[in-house]
Amino acid sequence: MRLRHAAGVWEIFIPRVAAGALYKYEITGPDGARLPHKADPCARQCELPPSTASRVADAHPFTWHDQAWMAARGGWERKPLSIYEVHAGSWRRDAQGLSLDWDALGDQLVPHVQALGFTHIELLPVSEHPFGGSWGYQPLGIYAPTARHGDPAAFARFVDRCHGAGIGVIVDWVSAHFPTDVHGLQRFDGTALYEHEDPREGFHRDWHTLIYNYGRNEVSAFLVGSALEWIERFHIDGLRVDAVASMLYRDYSRPEGEWVPNEHGGRENLQAIAFLRRMNAEIRRRFPDVMLMAEESTAWPGVTAPAEHGGLGFTHKWNMGWMHDTLQHMGRDPVHRGWHHSEMTFGLVYAFAERFVLPLSHDEVVHGKGSLLRRMPGDEWQRFANLRAYLALMWAHPGAKLLFMGGEFGQLAEWNHDAQLDWEEARRPPNDGLARLVGDLNRMLRAQPALHAAEQDERSFDWSVADDSRNNVVAFLRHDPEGGAPSLLAVTNLTPTVHHGYAVGVPSAGAWRELLNTDSAHYGGLLQTVPRPMHGHAQSLLLTLPPLATLYLQAEA
């Protein structure tokens, strides 16, 4: 190869190289020794693991049919957002027990998600990665879809199928670290090229991976280029950036003396912060209709504030605090819940500080945590009742919704990335009833602007009942302050006891319709207000609250 000094790149001409050809780089290190053969960091296609070569990609552009979707996908700020999170390799397997390819997923996954009413699919990382057990979170080919499900054109066809069905596609994208495989980025030219030389900065103790050196312009540009590649080449509608907290703090998961302070003596990773701001600003400038989500588990301020205003520039942040508090509460025996009532209400203290996603993700159903259903207390009826009430409360709560596959029908076993979901279980009652409820919740979310149109506006929420720890009841109103759509009342009873004549104040007199009742197989019915002052309102509804249930109600027009 020869170095083109003006451009700063190496090049080589090889005649008659066609799409599909395999290649690697042979690099001589600074000491003159030949290094292990390296895969192309910018390869647009890769060999099927466990093989590790890069592959020459077809240069012909994909023919898209999603022009209508792309033209209309903007304005997400006032649109409903409910996300079905998927691990493509274990959602369903074929008759031989092998993972489905992208075309089969288009045939089966897309109609499943469409029937459930989710607005988006979020894929666990689909960048090429050597170790399947990492679920994609240790990628090396961040410019190429994994060959496990087909070639890049097949992935583009899948996205095109989703868009044709009215479903957006979000991909998990990893810029926090990379694995140490010898064919990858580690000591790429015999030196710490992509990573830091000092392991106190460049080695991740939890995952035994290497950390990008964000202070190098070449590394920052490499990562930004990858993010843009997924958006431009594959029409991706959003990126969810993994492990942002590990990027922001130099002492993340490190004991004293095992980390290097920044130039001001602090723990903040100033280079990573600058990289995230640069990337998000560039994407927002070029693709303002694309969402950028951060998995950030600390109280870092301004994650979703614009970069020019001192924020990180993301559009959404995963609300890990809400998830931890509420799952802990739902796992308690109802007899003890009253003593921990704030676990269900504290999230509203900060619910509008960022634009949040409420995540019931893959991380909550692995490593011995159990499935969502198994985490609920009681017998089978109580477990399903708890989960139905919890999901309906979540769908009414401010914030976008995210549910990992299997949660929609209450799979009992926790997720196993080497096996498909239990689709036999999904067809049985009461699992099928839970799936019907999730579909109804998504359709309610779409139909009711009060539930989605002003997710970051404090005026969209009013407490009705926040402090009834004795009865473990919460109730609140959701509003559409700008659009003027009808408000919606959500009431949740988290005890296995029926509450008769439970009074909840409402803002308008007259008839109120029951839109949804998680304890009922059928929806409907009318309730009449009474002139009884309650919760700051002149009128009240006297409700019969079923055990372990959530109700949605709305005033008749």
Pick the closest to residue 277 from 241, 251, 318, 246 (CA basis): 241
Q: Give the whole-angstrom CA distance, residue 545 versus residue 514.
A: 12
Catalytic residue among 40, 160, 237, 295: 295
Asked about 268 being catalytic, the answer comes back as: no
Catalytic residue among 122, 201, 242, 440: 242
Q: Give the whole-angstrom CA distance, residue 183 versus residue 37.
A: 6
166 torsion bin: left (phi>0), alpha (psi -120 to 50), beta (else): left
Q: DSSP state, 451? A: G
Q: Give the whole-angstrom CA distance, residue 481 versus residue 486.
A: 10
DSSP readout, 228-257?
Answer: HHHHHHH--SEEEE--HHHHHBTTTT--TT
Q: Within 10 A of 308 (CB to CB), how many other CB atoms are there?
A: 10
For residue 468, give the amino acid letter: D
> Which residues have CB under 8 Å from 185's CB, separation 6+?
41, 140, 178, 193, 194, 195, 210
Q: What is the 3-state secondary structure (H, E, C) of 361-400?
A: CHHHCCCCCCCHHHHCCCCHHHHHHHHHHHHHHHHHCCCE
> Which residues have CB under 8 Å from 12's CB, separation 6+?
1, 2
Asked about 480 being catalytic, the answer comes back as: no
> Which residues have CB under 8 Å from 530's CB, separation 6+?
539, 540, 541, 542
Residues with a known catalytic role = 242, 295
